[in-house]
Amino acid sequence: MALLFKSDTDRIDIWQEALAKLMPDLEVRVWPDVGNAADIEFALVWNPPVGELAKLPNLRAIFSMGAGIDHLASDPDLPEDVPVVRMVDEGLTQGMTEFVVMAVLRHHRRIHDYQTQQRQKHWAQLVTPLAPDRKVGILGLGVLGADSAEKLVYLGFDVAGWSRTQKSLPGVESYSGDEGLRAFLKRTEILVCLLPLTTGTKGILNSTNLGLLPHGASLINVARGGHMVPEDVLAALDSGQLAEATLDVFPEEPLPAQSPFWDHPRVLVIPHCASVTLPKTAAENVARGIEAVRKGEALQNVVDFERGY
Ligand code: NDP
Ligand code: OXD
């Protein structure tokens, strides 16, 4: 028996349909219609209400609809002995890479400046370097960061990445640790954040770190709003240290109407959909996980709460 928690985007019927096709024997209930809580062996969640998972005494695995599990980690009652599986899915990766490549190209080719010129009916060609002369830096070289890096290398960009452990990815300069972060930021003209939100990465987009970027760099945050210190990002934009930002995630979502990001002339606001989990492919991952638990096999993509991701 599995329990589905409604996602914010409410594609619950599509999830049900996809799971029914793959696992016709699986009875699925939708929260809050839990029935007898003792029946529930698996939970599929995005952002469940705090304390709800702790009410399920026979849970065998929790499947996150998202790649990030920071919202689950912040539940003080999250059952400690139940594995949490995060979403690793080809569709989610493809969607993120499409978005990152689009945003990098947009900054690289100064599309925002052309839009400004168009509004002014001003005709002027802006010279931009070719990709090999543009340094892109990706914070986080995990499933998503590594795929974006690979596709940007394919386009010819000069790509580096920063991760906890050193990486060896074709064409990608690897940096790690505090010293590595400084060197990485100093060389990065277009910064992409694809880190998980943990105690070690919260607020990493702050004035000190943004100040290490070359003047006029661009920021693309597609990870979590908590990576940004919003006032520092705004100050960097206002001083010209940051030329532009593409922001898909915010400390408070939906972004409140009074947020200065909405009206900032050099910010593109996207409503947390750089990549969206598509039930059609993602349900296959969940079905594989349920099968593994049932057969007593090892689960893939289990969150390590010591590490925080
Ligand atoms: P992974 O766990 O695969 O990768 C995380 C990467 O971050 C790894 O390279 C890891 O290093 C690195 N990292 C973690 N902590 C640190 C640290 N303290 N210092 C340096 N590097 C660190 O995650 P994914 O790539 O699957 O996803 C990344 C994030 O993207 C998610 O957590 C989520 O927040 C966000 N996301 C946003 C979406 C959106 O639509 N906006 C959609 C999907 C995800 P190492 O490799 O050494 O372990
Ligand atoms: C995720 C997200 O973490 O959509 O998957 O943000």
Tell me: the pLDDT tens digits for 50-80? Answer: 999 999 999 999 999 999 999 999 999 999 9
Is the minimum distance from the CB of 4 to ligand 2 under 6 angstroms? no
Taking CA atoms, 285 is separated from 8, 58, 159, 164, in Å, by 20, 21, 30, 26
Catalytic residue chosen out of the listed positions 272, 288, 294, 307: 272
Model confidence pLDDT, tens digit, residues 94-152: 999 999 999 999 999 999 999 999 999 999 999 999 999 999 999 999 999 999 999 99
Residues near ligand 1 (Cβ within 6 A): 67-68, 92, 96, 140-145, 162-165, 194-198, 200-201, 222-224, 248-249, 272-275, 309
Backbone angles phi, psi at 170, to 5 degrees: -55, 125
Atom of ligand 1 nearest to the CA of 99: 40
Q: Are 134 and 155 in contact (CB under 8 A)?
A: no
Model confidence pLDDT, tens digit, residues 165-199: 999 999 999 999 999 999 999 999 999 999 999 99
What pLDDT score does 66 carry?
95
Q: Judging by DSSP bridges, how do beta strands 28-30 and 42-45 pair with one another?
A: unpaired
Task: Take residue 97 and report the two structure tokens written for it.
Answer: 């890479």
The whole-number average pLDDT for the span 219-243 is 98
Is 224 annotated as catalytic?
Answer: yes
Rounded distance between C-alpha atoms, residue 61 and residue 84, angstroms: 6
The whole-number average pLDDT for the span 212-241 is 98
Rounded distance between C-alpha atoms, residue 79 and residue 48, angstroms: 13
Protein residue whose Cα sits closest to atom 2 of ligand 2:
66
Q: Are 106 and 112 in contact (CB under 8 A)?
A: yes
* Among the listed residues 240, 269, 238, 277, the one whose alpha carbon sits nearest the alpha carbon of residue 252: 269
Residue 209 confidence class, pLDDT cut points 50, 70, 90 = very high
Q: Are 224 and 249 in contact (CB under 8 A)?
A: yes
Task: Take residue 134 and report the two structure tokens written for it.
Answer: 């543009």
201 C-alpha to ligand 1 centroid (Å): 10
Q: Are 104 and 96 in contact (CB under 8 A)?
A: no
* Among the listed residues 91, 108, 46, 47, the one whose alpha carbon sits nearest the alpha carbon of residue 246: 108
Predicted model pTM = 0.97
Is 29 annotated as catalytic?
Answer: no
Q: If residue 22 lies in a helix (H) or strand (E), which one and from where to where?
A: helix 12-22
Asked if residue 8 has pLDDT above 70, the reply is no
Tell me the pLDDT of the chain averaged across its residues: 96
